[in-house]
Amino acid sequence: MPTNTDHFTADALLAEASARAGGLSDTGADLTEPLNRFVDSLNAESRLTEFGQLVASERTLMHLVNRLNYTEDRKKFPEIAEQRIERPVFIIGFPRTGTTILHDILAQDPASRAPLTWETMFPSPPPEAASFESDPRIALAESLFPTPENETESDRQFRAMHPMGAQLTQECVVLMGETLITPLFHNQFRVPAYMDWVDHQADFGPVYDFHVRQLQHLQSRGPAHDRWVLKTGAHMWGLEHLLRIYPDARIVFTHRDPVRSVASYASLTTHVRRMTSEEVDPFEIAADWTPRLERVLQRTMDIRASHEFPEARFYDMFFTDFVADQFAAVEAIYAALDLEMSDEAAQRMRSFIADNPKGKHGLHTYTPEEYGLVPAEIRERLGSYIDHFALSPE
């Protein structure tokens, strides 16, 4: 079995990040434990190719450099701290339940603001409203994605699962990377020990303390808007902390037959890891992620049932309804969350839906059996969830 040498060290990554950030060294908080946990797991468990080591290194450095710059910009521009984040809309739920396309649709409303990929990759200095469509960081970010002329078959398959682009919406699981506490790392790389720590020991309080700082940063000079629209299933790991920071949050909780969700996520994770790993076991991935997803789903249900956050509002959206009529599903969200939809918002949403039909970038095909999943066993494990929301098999 391939093993890794101690290719990564926390000290070397911090030193390189500091050099790339012009000598900055203040991360605003102690990142020692999450960085060491991640580095140790990469070295011991990840089975990365030489290219994979480069990808993991650059991914970590991006987050560290961004963290240094966020912290420094807050010192330079103290008015960032005065920004108010009110009634943000969060899309959460099991992975592969339509959250990405829903996020993109909601972001078409001029009254809404979603983090875009380019500004989360290069957040410093804070984006400006006047140059938001022409900022040179857009082209820089776009240059890092494959083009139709140079993309590989692997790139095309990934785009069918998850569209890529500098001006597409980005999810909060990437923003979490700046705290080095994020389930995303175990999706990209095989780091089960790190993920065990994230699941059972990591404190998500600092994740959301920094999350609000990130939104304040992006909002401080950016386009005017009425609300943020944000998304990631990773919010299930720290929902109580999200609701502590955003007590007036509006939560769109997406639901789908969990057999399809788990199988689709196993397919995505398998594909992503094959880009960087010497050895990938699809059965292991499904067996590893299934109990993790089951646990955080139950946590989310328990926190919601506790009614400890009376100002928050939840709305349940079902994947089958969304697939049947995307715009009708969005109208139902607006009605449930008391959001006003302008004529311009409706027109832009309808146009986006028409321009992005299912399969535009190819179809994502998979079966549970490819990942060693037994549908009856998953439905038994998640029986209370399935019964609560009356989810039918797909």
Q: Determine the average pLDDT of the residues in 325-343.
A: 97
3-state secondary structure of 116: strand
Q: Determine the average pLDDT of the residues in 71-80.
A: 97
3-state secondary structure of 73: helix
The domain spans of the chain are 88-389
Higher pLDDT, 303 or 158: 303
Predicted pLDDT at 394: 84
Number of H helices, E strands in the chain: 19, 5
Provide, rounded to the nearest whole percent, the portion of the chain with pLDDT above 70.
92
Residue 1 in this model has a pLDDT that exceeds 50: no
Per-residue pLDDT reduced to its tens digit, 282-318: 999 999 999 999 999 999 999 999 989 999 999 999 9
Could you please report the per-residue DSSP string of 345-372?
HHHHHHHHHHHS-TTTT------GGGGT
Q: How far apart are the first and last CA of the chain?
A: 37
Q: How far is the C-alpha of 213 from the C-alpha of 184, rounded, in Å?
A: 20
Average pLDDT, the chain: 93
Q: How far is the C-alpha of 326 from the C-alpha of 347, rounded, in Å?
A: 13
User: Which has the minimum average pLDDT: 98-107, 161-170, 370-379, 380-389?
Assistant: 161-170
* Class of the domain covering 88-389: alpha beta
Predicted pLDDT at 96: 83
Higher pLDDT, 164 or 345: 345
Residue 161 in this model has a pLDDT that exceeds 60: no
Q: Is 356 exposed, middle or buried (0-12, 13-18, 19+ CB in 10 A)?
A: middle
Predicted pLDDT at 157: 53
Task: Please state, in angstroms and as integers, the Cα–Cα distance from residue 295 to each residue in 99, 149, 259, following that order.
Answer: 20, 42, 15
Q: How far is the C-alpha of 140 from the C-alpha of 132, rounded, in Å?
A: 14
pLDDT confidence of 273, banded at 50, 70, 90?
very high
**0.95 exceeded by the pTM?**
no
Give the torsion sign (CA, 10, 11, 14, 15): negative
Q: How far is the C-alpha of 334 from the C-alpha of 268, rounded, in Å?
A: 30
Structure tokens belonging to residue 32: 């020692």
Predicted pLDDT at 364: 61
Predicted pLDDT at 363: 60
Q: Determine the average pLDDT of the residues in 235-247.
A: 97
Per-residue pLDDT reduced to its tens digit, 27-40: 999 999 999 999 99
Predicted pLDDT at 2: 34
Rg (CA), the chain: 20
Residue 229 in this model has a pLDDT that exceeds 70: yes
Residue 3 in this model has a pLDDT that exceeds 50: no
pLDDT confidence of 5, banded at 50, 70, 90?
very low
Q: How far is the C-alpha of 218 from the C-alpha of 223, rounded, in Å?
A: 9
